[in-house]
Amino acid sequence: MRVKAGSTTRNRHKKVLARTKGFHLGRKNLFRQAKQALLKAGVNAYRDRKVKKRTFRGQWIIVLNAGARQHGLSYSQLMTGLTKSGNQINRKNLAELARSEPETFTKIVERAKEFVGSR
């Protein structure tokens, strides 16, 4: 006697349709469209987890450039000075310092200024 796959298929469909809840039109309730939408959503999510990191880095650089220019340096000069001075602080923490603790950031920039002209 053969086994029919009705319950297995229904459960598989329900799982896909549950994950597409909130999608528009047939992408939320028609299995074939929902399955394709789910695959595409997964591809976008994977890619954008990487893009998110690039976006954050860009935002930190914008903040650092603005902070450096208030002290008469460009972003590249600031980073060069920090590298030459042996400072190991990363861009994320530097940007946070520039926002929340301007006095500390000023000291760091002044330290970097000493090394900008030198080789």
Specify the CATH number for the domain of residue 108. Answer: 1.10.1900.20
Q: Please report, for residues 4, 5, 35, 102, 113, the alpha-carbon distance to residue 80 in angstroms, rounded to integers and kept in the order given.
A: 69, 65, 50, 20, 9
Is 89 inside a domain boundary?
Answer: yes
Is 74 inside a domain boundary?
Answer: yes
pLDDT band at 118 (very low <50, low <70, confident <90, very high): low
What is the model's pLDDT at position 94?
95
Following DSSP, what letter does each residue of 74-92 receive, concatenated? -HHHHHHHHHHTT----HH
What is the model's pLDDT at position 119?
55
Q: In a 3-state reduction of DSSP, which class is residue 11?
A: helix
Over residues 61-98, the pLDDT tens digits come to: 999 999 999 999 999 999 999 999 988 899 999 999 99
Is 37 inside a domain boundary?
Answer: yes
Domain count along the chain: 1
Is 3 inside a domain boundary?
Answer: no
- The per-residue pLDDT of the chain, averaged, comes to 93
